Chains A and B, each alone.
Chain A
Amino acid sequence: MISPPNDPRYFQIISLSAFVAAQMIWFDFAPELAVLALNMAAALVTQWIACRIVGAGFDYRSPLITSLSLTILLKASALWVYPLAAILAITSKFTLRSGSSHIFNPANFAIVALLLALSDYVWVAPGQWGATMLTALMIIGFGLSVLTHVKGRFDMGFLFLGIWSALAFIRALWLGDPMDIPAHQLQNGALLIFAFFMISDPKTIPAHFHGRIVFALSVALFAFTLTHVFQVREALFYALAALCLMRPLFDMIWRATPYNWPQKEKLS
């Protein structure tokens, strides 16, 4: 039995709660309390119902994380969209599965599904955290507190960020741009939250280290192309969802033991 504080999900809940609070206190265009409440209620209730249906024990941690992520990342022009997003996210976890785990990071799935299906109601705001050293350090700090508790999978965020940084600097060199430009791009808070709190979700990334390298490289290349060639502002989310869909293939090529949260359970 592992003591609860070793579970990375506690650190994730604390970090994401801190981000929501920081937004509400300091930032404009912050989520309202109602958004947080609706997201949480819908995620927890959906999880509870789904657990009853599949006969698994109810665990509040994962739906809480999903609802906090959605509160931070998804913006909607009407309140009813938020619980819908949470329901979609949690449902995807129970229905879209491969092997012993779900295919998509739940929040990522809901964001992509809604961007595609309800583009008149939702958007994401890649500029909402700005690009300052202070916010960047805060996000990295919280990110580290989570990742150091993810046994054997802590590398994902760093792999992605390393490759993304390399691409940004190579592009700047090729264009002859001053290095201020990639440096500015890499301090973007939304990028860092994606790296440390979404693509690093240990349940939805390849099990083997080599698989994760190729995975990180693919997400980064795809998202970079979408961003700079096709001018897609939501590129990171699309790229991650697309690669998650191919993750079972990665796990077939590079075999390793699938990740499980520190406590025994069938479904997270």
Chain B
Amino acid sequence: MKKLTALALGALGIFAHGQAQAFCGFFVSKAGADLFNQASKVVMARADDRTVITMANDFQGDLKEFAIVIPVPEVLEEGQVNVTENRLVEHIDAYTAPRLVEYFDPDPCTDRLYQLKALRGGPQMMAMEMMSSAPMQAEDYGVTIEAEYTVGEYDIVILSAEESDGLLGYLNQEGYKLPKGAEKTLGSYIKQDMKFFLAKVNLEEQAKSGYTYLRPLQVAFESEKFMLPIRLGTLNAKGDQDLILYTLTRQGRVETTNYRTVKIPSDTNIPVYVKDEFGEFYKAMFDTAAEKEQKKVTFLEYAWNMSWCDPCAADPLPNKDLRTLGAWWIEAPKELTAPKPLPGAQQRIMPMPPQAPANAYVTRLHVRYNAETFPEDLILQETVDNSNFQGRYVLNHTFEGNLSCKAGQEYLASLPQRHEKEAQNLAQLTGWDINDIRQKMKDNGRLMDKGDVPPPTPWWKDIWTKD
């Protein structure tokens, strides 16, 4: 039924793009990927087998030591590799981030529609240390250098190999310190006809670029393989890793076909004090949700048509940026000009939309994985499900003011139950101690017990005004 409603509203054109409607609450705060230490951020745009992957790079350390190996389905020519700006990944992260919204209760004494709504349900890139460098003798290792070029601040090498031990030997000689078990994984990719994308930092170019950080690398290729290789990343990592995958597709939501996709808990009322610790809240909630599913699932954090949002954690990305991120099917933006008025016709001002609605659907998947719980690479598929989902958490501010009217008294009496529910929601979502939560809410001036509700003001207090 939800589908039908959404369809009807869409047909009425209610969804103006880029406008915060305050329909799903006023946006307060968001939980971006930065909350999760060293979370890999990958944007994947795909339609008709044409795929563009953008990998954000938050490598912290000596740039000389940066090196990545990524399996790719085909040999990439120079034009198929690009570096882009950090802000694009940051923007899509902000746009899709789980969000905190707030509502303010109306004055129950003046609100004519007052109703007691007490309980509104309201690829891991493999960064490896480089040891030394030595001249290349790729062919000795059964390794073919398919292409070699510099793009932006990166030196890129595309390799194909016949045997994993040869590839391993070559990589070792090139100074890549590979984790244990890498040979087998590389061998598996070789047999699946994958090529290897190697990138190191070209220090000269990096200095010239003027950037103090490494920009995201992009690769474009055409392949029926719709997957994200995570296995190399699980080899050298201790414990769990976080991956946030943002996909841009033409039709609908993306899901994993070899792991269950689960919606992150959403649309829950939580205590107002969480406003100051939303990041902590989201982290604890994600931990709890991941534990509950034994870390064997992919979490859906956002799924929405790229042309609008409600409420917006950030503006939708303009078409130009979506194209840069690989949404090749979106037409390049044209200069929009107002139509010339017909001779004799009264001139009207027609507001022009800033751009046509984006024909792109964004999905944000959050995976917490390790080699044991996620033994296989992520196999993905695009579905035709274009219903909307967002991680959304609701604060409900109580009305502060004169509540001496009958409705006001009822309202006051209803608050302890509502606050208790918020406390329980928060405890359930985060695993935090319920008594700590109750205490914090009390300290924050929330009415928690029936006994705390102030007695009604005597009726005669309001009839004589005394100077």
By a beta-carbon cutoff of 8 Å, the part of chain A in contact with chain B is 27-29, 32, 34, 75-79, 119-123, 125-132, 174-178, 180-181, 183-185, 188, 230-231, 233
Q: In the complex, are the beta carbons of A231 and B164 less than 8 A apart?
A: no
B259 contacts the other chain (CB 8 A): yes
Q: Which residues of B contact A230 (CB under 8 A)?
A: 224
* Given A79-B3, A175-B188: A127 in contact with B256 (beta carbons within 8 A): yes
B226 contacts the other chain (CB 8 A): yes
User: Could you jot down 16 A-B contacts, CB within 8 Å?
Assistant: A27-B260, A79-B3, A121-B384, A122-B384, A123-B384, A123-B385, A125-B255, A126-B381, A127-B259, A131-B260, A175-B188, A175-B191, A181-B375, A183-B375, A184-B258, A185-B376
CB under 8 Å from chain A, chain B span 375-405 = 375-376, 379, 381, 383-386
B84 contacts the other chain (CB 8 A): no
Q: In the complex, are the beta carbons of A176 and B372 less than 8 A apart?
A: no
* Given A79-B4, A181-B376: A28 in contact with B385 (beta carbons within 8 A): no
Contacts A127-B259, A184-B376, A188-B258 given; 17 further ones with Cβ under 8 A? A27-B260, A28-B263, A77-B252, A77-B385, A78-B3, A79-B4, A123-B381, A123-B385, A125-B255, A125-B257, A132-B296, A174-B191, A175-B192, A177-B184, A181-B375, A231-B225, A233-B379
Q: Which residues of B contact A130 (CB under 8 A)?
A: 259-260, 296-297
Q: In the complex, are the beta carbons of B261 and A29 less than 8 A apart?
A: yes
B345 contacts the other chain (CB 8 A): no
B187 contacts the other chain (CB 8 A): yes
B262 contacts the other chain (CB 8 A): yes
Q: Which residue of B lies closest to A189 (CB)?
A: B260
B430 contacts the other chain (CB 8 A): no
Task: Give complex CA distance A125, B256 in Å.
Answer: 9
| Least CB distance, A265 to chain B, in whole angstroms | 37
| Least CB distance, A117 to chain B, in whole angstroms | 13
Q: Which residues of A contact B386 (CB under 8 A)?
A: 77
Task: Give complex CA distance A180, B379 in Å.
Answer: 16
Q: In the complex, are the beta carbons of A127 and B261 less than 8 A apart?
A: yes
Q: In the complex, are the beta carbons of A127 and B187 less than 8 A apart?
A: no
- Summed over the interface, the residue pairs from A and B with CB atoms below 8 Å come to a total of 90
Q: Which residue of A lies closest to B374 (CB)?
A: A184
Q: In the complex, are the beta carbons of B296 and A131 less than 8 A apart?
A: yes
Q: Which residues of A contact B259 (CB under 8 A)?
A: 127, 130-131
B1 contacts the other chain (CB 8 A): yes
Q: Closest 4 CB pairs between A and B?
A: A130-B260, A180-B375, A175-B188, A126-B257
Q: Which residues of A contact B379 (CB under 8 A)?
A: 233
Q: Which residues of B contact A125 (CB under 8 A)?
A: 255, 257, 383
By a beta-carbon cutoff of 8 Å, the part of chain B in contact with chain A is 1, 3-4, 164, 184, 187-188, 191-192, 224-226, 251-252, 255-263, 294, 296-298, 300, 372, 375-376, 379, 381, 383-386
Q: Which residues of B contact A126 (CB under 8 A)?
A: 257-258, 381
Q: In the complex, are the beta carbons of B294 and A132 less than 8 A apart?
A: yes
Task: Give complex CA distance A243, B22 in Å.
Answer: 54
Task: Give complex CA distance A180, B374 in Å.
Answer: 9
Q: In the complex, are the beta carbons of B383 and A75 less than 8 A apart?
A: yes
Q: Which residues of A contact B262 (CB under 8 A)?
A: 28
| Least CB distance, B275 to chain A, in whole angstroms | 27
Task: Give complex CA distance A249, B379 in Å.
Answer: 36
Q: Which residues of A contact B256 (CB under 8 A)?
A: 127
Q: In the complex, are the beta carbons of A32 and B258 less than 8 A apart?
A: no
Q: In the complex, are the beta carbons of A77 and B191 less than 8 A apart?
A: no
Our pick among A34, A122, A128 for the contact of B1 (Cβ within 8 Å) is: A34
Q: Which residues of A contact B191 (CB under 8 A)?
A: 174-176
Q: In the complex, are the beta carbons of B184 and A176 less than 8 A apart?
A: yes
Q: Which residue of A lies closest to B188 (CB)?
A: A175
Q: Which residue of B lies closest to A190 (CB)?
A: B257
Q: Which residue of A lies closest to B375 (CB)?
A: A180
Q: Which residues of B contact A34 (CB under 8 A)?
A: 1
Q: In the complex, are the beta carbons of B252 and A127 less than 8 A apart?
A: no
Q: In the complex, are the beta carbons of B251 and A120 less than 8 A apart?
A: yes
Task: Give complex CA distance A132, B375 in Å.
Answer: 13
Task: Give complex CA distance A185, B377 in Å.
Answer: 11
| Least CB distance, B301 to chain A, in whole angstroms | 12
Task: Give complex CA distance A109, B443 in Å.
Answer: 63
Q: Which residue of A lies closest to B253 (CB)?
A: A29
Q: In the complex, are the beta carbons of B257 and A77 less than 8 A apart?
A: no
Task: Give complex CA distance A124, B224 in Å.
Answer: 18
Task: Give complex CA distance A233, B300 in Å.
Answer: 20
Q: In the complex, are the beta carbons of B164 and A128 less than 8 A apart?
A: no
| Least CB distance, B189 to chain A, in whole angstroms | 9
Task: Give complex CA distance A230, B300 in Å.
Answer: 27
Task: Give complex CA distance A175, B192 in Å.
Answer: 8
Task: Give complex CA distance A5, B298 in Å.
Answer: 40
* Given A123-B383, A174-B191: A128 in contact with B260 (beta carbons within 8 A): yes
Q: Which residues of B contact A76 (CB under 8 A)?
A: 384
Task: Give complex CA distance A177, B375 in Å.
Answer: 10
Q: In the complex, are the beta carbons of B164 and A176 less than 8 A apart?
A: yes
| Least CB distance, A122 to chain B, in whole angstroms | 7
Q: Which residues of A contact B296 (CB under 8 A)?
A: 130-132
Q: Which residue of B lies closest to A29 (CB)?
A: B261
Q: Which residues of B contact A231 (CB under 8 A)?
A: 224-226
Q: Which residue of B lies closest to A228 (CB)?
A: B192
Task: Give complex CA distance A79, B1 in Å.
Answer: 8
Task: Give complex CA distance A183, B192 in Å.
Answer: 19
Task: Give complex CA distance A27, B384 in Å.
Answer: 19
Task: Give complex CA distance A130, B296 in Å.
Answer: 8
Our pick among A29, A128, A129, A175 for the contact of B187 (Cβ within 8 Å) is: A175
* Given A128-B260, A131-B258: A120 in contact with B384 (beta carbons within 8 A): yes
| Least CB distance, A174 to chain B, in whole angstroms | 7
Q: Which residue of B lies closest to A126 (CB)?
A: B257
Task: Give complex CA distance A68, B262 in Å.
Answer: 22
Q: Which residues of A contact B187 (CB under 8 A)?
A: 175-176
Q: Which residues of B contact A77 (CB under 8 A)?
A: 3, 252, 384-386
Q: Which residues of A contact B1 (CB under 8 A)?
A: 32, 34
| Least CB distance, B286 to chain A, in whole angstroms | 16
Q: Which residue of A lies closest to B251 (CB)?
A: A120
Task: Give complex CA distance A157, B409 in Å.
Answer: 66
Our pick among B225, B255, B372 for the contact of A127 (Cβ within 8 Å) is: B255
Q: Which residue of B lies closest to A76 (CB)?
A: B384
Q: Which residues of A contact B375 (CB under 8 A)?
A: 178, 180-181, 183-184
Q: Which residues of A contact B263 (CB under 8 A)?
A: 28-29
Q: Which residues of A contact B258 (CB under 8 A)?
A: 126-127, 131, 184-185, 188
| Least CB distance, B166 to chain A, in whole angstroms | 14
Task: Give complex CA distance A238, B84 in Å.
Answer: 41
Task: Give complex CA distance A230, B49 in Å.
Answer: 12
* Given A79-B3, A178-B375, A184-B376: A233 in contact with B381 (beta carbons within 8 A): yes
